[in-house]
Amino acid sequence: MEYIVKIDDKTFEKAFQGESMRKRLHPFLGRCIRVVLALCLVLLFVNVAWSARIKDIASLKGVRGNQLIGYGLVVGLNGTGDGSGTKFTVQSLVNMMEHLGIHALPDQVKVSNVAAVMVTANLPSFARQGNKLDVLVSSVGDAKSLQGGTLLLSPLRGVDNQIYALAQGPLLVGGFASSGAAGGGVQKNHPTVARIPGGASIEREIPFDFSKMKDLVISLNEPDFTTAMRVTDAINMKLGRKAAFPSDGGTIRVRVPDEMRKNMVGVMASLEQIRITPDQSARIVLDERTGTVVMGQDVRISSVAIAHGNLSVTIKESKQVSQPAPFSQGQTAVTPESKVNVAEEQKRLIVMPEGTSLGDVVKALNAIGVSPRDLIAVFQAIKAAGALQADLEII
């Protein structure tokens, strides 16, 4: 709806002929402009709040991190290392000393201050030689704590068994463990797991030339045909031509124009900032271990009547002692007595009309006093009745 106001020259001159009128009008116009700008900002914020960037819901195919793993020794522990029964720790320490030119026998080595560990790290995409990586150190023996230890030089290998990084340095443990000679003690968090921030140095790069790519293949984190079409339309609108084509519900192929291939980084940077509203299927996730229920906003149910109540049966056992009368030559007898009480909650019958939304479902189930764990049973019953238009996922 549009409103058009026309003011002729005479009316305009008459309205602004007085100095007092102009003084009164100028603050009014200022307030109007501020109100209009505030409304525009609010509308812009609402539009952005309900959308997501492509970089947050998708990734570029071929650009990903790689896992690295290695084996090493942590030294300098205060008697909290592996026990003498951990043979591989003893053998590893002896081999390392032999490599350093020190001959030692396994029977002569005690490893109470040494622990065998596995070292893991994630090699990010486009990582270059000399960059630092954070490493995670985890005990594989029977060490009690890694606190105060230092990781010796450990090579980190990829799935191709090639060395990509070298790790070494003091450990940062987020917990502790203390115990006495008689047993027992205090422990906080996991003292057998530690981190070394920037503890690994990259020695080998993964060959990948991003500038020579001709097509960009975008993979959605959550495949969905509607979302794929929205991403395709948004990219085509951004580039001003039909350059994006969805291959399936989770893949969009973008043919970069020839004049833009010299700046592939700039093209990808502009595409990943495009905002769209991702679509999702109606789903209810139930966690029976914790009683957690998560429902999507598109969950709908058909016409169904729901009644839910708990039935509790209480049985109380007691014994009655019967004493005989004096001089009756009788005997004391013990007779059992049982009291059974049956209690059933009186819950109302709730009728859910067809097409009921998530908010109506929650209000109706709260009205009959359904707990989270009871809610799991209710949704399973609705699904079994064929009245739930959503996927029911139990984890």
DSSP 3-state of 194: strand
pLDDT at 310: 57
Which residue type does 104 have? A
Contact between 181 and 136 (Cβ < 8 Å): no
Which of 306, 335, 337, 307 minimizes the C-alpha distance to 322?
A: 335
| pLDDT beneath 50, residues of the chain | 1-9, 11-16, 19, 21-23, 25, 42-49, 311-313, 342
Contact between 299 and 358 (Cβ < 8 Å): yes
pLDDT at 167: 95
**CA 17, CA 21: separation in Å to the nearest integer?**
8
**CA 89, CA 83: separation in Å to the nearest integer?**
9
Query: What value, to the nearest 5°, has the Cα angle with vertex 159 and ends 158 and 163?
Result: 30
Alpha-carbon torsion (323, 325, 329, 330), positive or negative: negative
Residue entry with tokens 């339309």: 233
Q: What is the pLDDT of residues 85-105, one digit of tens each?
A: 788 888 888 888 888 888 888
pLDDT at 133: 93
Could you state, in order of their start, the residue ranges of all structural domains in the chain?
Answer: 66-176+188-202, 210-276, 283-321+344-394
**CA 312, CA 309: separation in Å to the nearest integer?**
10
Segments in the chain forming alpha helices (H) = 9-15, 19-49, 54-57, 87-99, 225-239, 264-271, 358-367, 372-384
Alpha carbon distances (Å) from 222 to 15, 144, 249, 306, 386: 61, 41, 9, 33, 26
pLDDT at 68: 95
Q: What is the dihedral of CA 69, 75, 76, 81, to 10 degrees?
A: 90
- Beta strands 283-287 and 391-394, pairing class: parallel
DSSP 3-state of 170: strand
**CA 187, CA 178: separation in Å to the nearest integer?**
6
pLDDT at 46: 42
DSSP 3-state of 316: strand
Contact between 155 and 143 (Cβ < 8 Å): no
Q: Is this structure's pTM higher than 0.85?
A: no
pLDDT at 152: 93
Contact between 80 and 177 (Cβ < 8 Å): yes
Q: What is the pLDDT of residues 300-313, one digit of tens each?
A: 777 777 666 654 44
Helix axes 264-271, 225-239, angle to 10 degrees: 130
**Residue 68, Cβ density class (10 Å: 0-12 exposed, 13-18 middle, ≥19 buried):** buried
Contact between 77 and 146 (Cβ < 8 Å): yes
**CA 116, CA 138: separation in Å to the nearest integer?**
9
